[in-house]
């Protein structure tokens, strides 16, 4: 690699004026596909003081071994499941992630997907384009009066609850880390369910908003889908690994679920697997939850300002870990 001194290494596609401004002052090396090549990534990170990534670059302990000069990682996005956080903190590296920047966009997409399922919008669009005009086939359902179960009452889950209430939905939430006395529940009009199954059993729509952790991997599986009302809809804009996709396929094929909308997949990109892809009652989007102009510029600006702070030797604002003193 030609670059010898490098302040900032960007290993995925990241654009924006804020990055251009950083390039005027600092040495920035960008390769949008570097995340794919472990050996090249390891070589490049050796000289980097800051690493800027999205969700594809896997920051592992072996990669960090090579990152001798690294002081900070800027995560354009929210989920931290591609970063070995204990290993990063152990090496004294700060992780920057503006956690609030995406929540509105992801919540709005979630409501869009709920509406798409309830009113069969993508299927109606597909057929209408072929000259069909079959209105009865696309008889849908109203959201008003229906029950939405939200799994994970964090930043996004809370915004989804707010939007769903505006549509007149009943909202039940499950989150093992939110207590019944939590102020987060005040004036929200939502009901907290201690057991996930209780929320699932009464919901017409179920939406996943937890992070991907060992505890939540395949939280939605054959058993949980069986607990849901027959014909209910499932929406996932969190992380693909929260769902056992085999179990979801089976629940859709058997009619246990009426439909599903997935913005995230167990493997991304999933390739042309032609399973969910051929189902009329499935809506698929390519992990676009945070892809709005507003969320992207908020996130990139916040990460870029924190990167500059770190490089100037001042503390970051959007830090999400407590690094140990550097060895």
Nearest distance in Å: CB 66, ligand NAD: 27
Nearest distance in Å: CB 287, ligand NAD: 5
The CA-atom distances, in angstroms, between 67 and each of 70, 71, 143, 168, 308 are 5, 9, 50, 51, 19
How many chain residues touch ligand NAD (CB under 6 A)? 32
263, 283 contact by CB (below 8 A): no
Determine, following the binding rule CB under 6 A, whether residue 209 of this chain makes contact with ligand NAD. yes
Give me the residue label for tokens 């939605």. 220
Determine, following the binding rule CB under 6 A, whether residue 286 of this chain makes contact with ligand NAD. no
Please say which residue, 9 or 103, places its beta carbon nearer to ligand NAD. 103
| Stretch of 35-43, 45-53, 72-80, 130-138 contacting ligand NAD, by CB under 6 A | 72-80
| Stretch of 5-13, 18-26, 170-178, 313-321 contacting ligand NAD, by CB under 6 A | 170-178
Whether omega before 72 lies within 30 degrees of 0, making that bond cis, reads no
Length of the chain: 327
Active site residues: 239, 268, 287
CA distance 169 to 222: 26
The residue from 75, 120, 239, 309 that contacts ligand NAD (CB under 6 A) is: 239
* Phi, psi angles (nearest 5°) of residue 28: -115, 130
Nearest to 202, CA basis, from 149, 252, 250, 162: 149
Determine, following the binding rule CB under 6 A, whether residue 174 of this chain makes contact with ligand NAD. yes
Nearest to 150, CA basis, from 142, 141, 137, 160: 160
Please say which residue, 11 or 104, places its beta carbon nearer to ligand NAD. 104
| Stretch of 76-84, 127-135, 140-148, 300-308 contacting ligand NAD, by CB under 6 A | 76-84
Burial 61-100 (b: 16+ CB within 10 A, else e): eebbeebeebbbbbbbbbbbebbbeebbeebebbbbbbbe
The CA-atom distances, in angstroms, between 63 and each of 27, 67, 173, 195, 203 are 21, 7, 38, 39, 43
Nearest distance in Å: CB 174, ligand NAD: 6
53, 82 contact by CB (below 8 A): yes
Determine, following the binding rule CB under 6 A, whether residue 293 of this chain makes contact with ligand NAD. no
Determine, following the binding rule CB under 6 A, whether residue 259 of this chain makes contact with ligand NAD. no
Determine, following the binding rule CB under 6 A, whether residue 216 of this chain makes contact with ligand NAD. yes
| Stretch of 102-110, 113-121, 245-253, 296-304 contacting ligand NAD, by CB under 6 A | 102-110
Q: Which residues in this chain contact ligand NAD in the complex, by CB under 6 A?
A: 77-79, 99, 102-103, 106, 151-157, 174-177, 209-212, 215-216, 237-239, 263-264, 287, 289-290
């Amino acid at each position: 690699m030609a670059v010898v001194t490098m302040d900032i290494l960007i290993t995925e596609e990241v654009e924006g004026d804020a990055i251009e401004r950083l390039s005027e002052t600092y040495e920035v090396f960008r390769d949008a596909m570097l995340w794919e090549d472990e050996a090249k990534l390891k070589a490049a990170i050796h000289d980097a003081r800051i690493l800027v990534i999205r969700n594809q670059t896997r920051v592992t302990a072996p990669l960090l071994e090579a990152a001798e000069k690294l002081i900070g990682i800027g995560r354009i996005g929210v989920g931290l499941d591609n970063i070995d956080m204990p290993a990063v903190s152990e090496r004294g590296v700060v992780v920057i992630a503006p956690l609030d920047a995406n929540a509105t966009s992801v919540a709005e997409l979630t409501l869009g997907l709920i509406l798409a399922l309830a009113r069969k919008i993508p299927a109606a669009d597909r057929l209408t384009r072929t000259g069909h005009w079959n209105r009865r086939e696309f008889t849908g359902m109203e959201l008003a009066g229906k029950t939405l179960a939200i799994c994970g009452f964090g930043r996004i889950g809370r915004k989804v609850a707010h939007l769903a209430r505006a549509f007149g939905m009943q909202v039940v939430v499950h989150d093992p880390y939110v207590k019944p006395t939590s102020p987060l529940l005040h004036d929200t009009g939502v009901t907290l369910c201690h057991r996930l199954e209780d929320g699932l059993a009464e919901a017409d729509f179920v939406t996943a908003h937890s992070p991907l952790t060992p505890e939540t991997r395949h939280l939605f599986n054959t058993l949980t889908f069986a607990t849901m009302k027959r014909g209910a809809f499932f929406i996932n804009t969190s992380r693909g690994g929260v769902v056992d996709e085999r179990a979801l396929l089976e629940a859709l094929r058997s009619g246990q679920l009426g439909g599903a909308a997935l913005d995230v997949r167990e493997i991304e990109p999933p390739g042309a697997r032609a399973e969910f892809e051929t189902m009329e009652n499935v809506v698929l989007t390519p992990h676009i939850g945070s892809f709005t102009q507003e969320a992207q510029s908020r996130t990139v600006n916040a990460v870029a300002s924190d990167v500059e702070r770190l490089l100037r030797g001042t503390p970051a604002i959007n830090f999400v870990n407590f690094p140990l003193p550097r060895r």
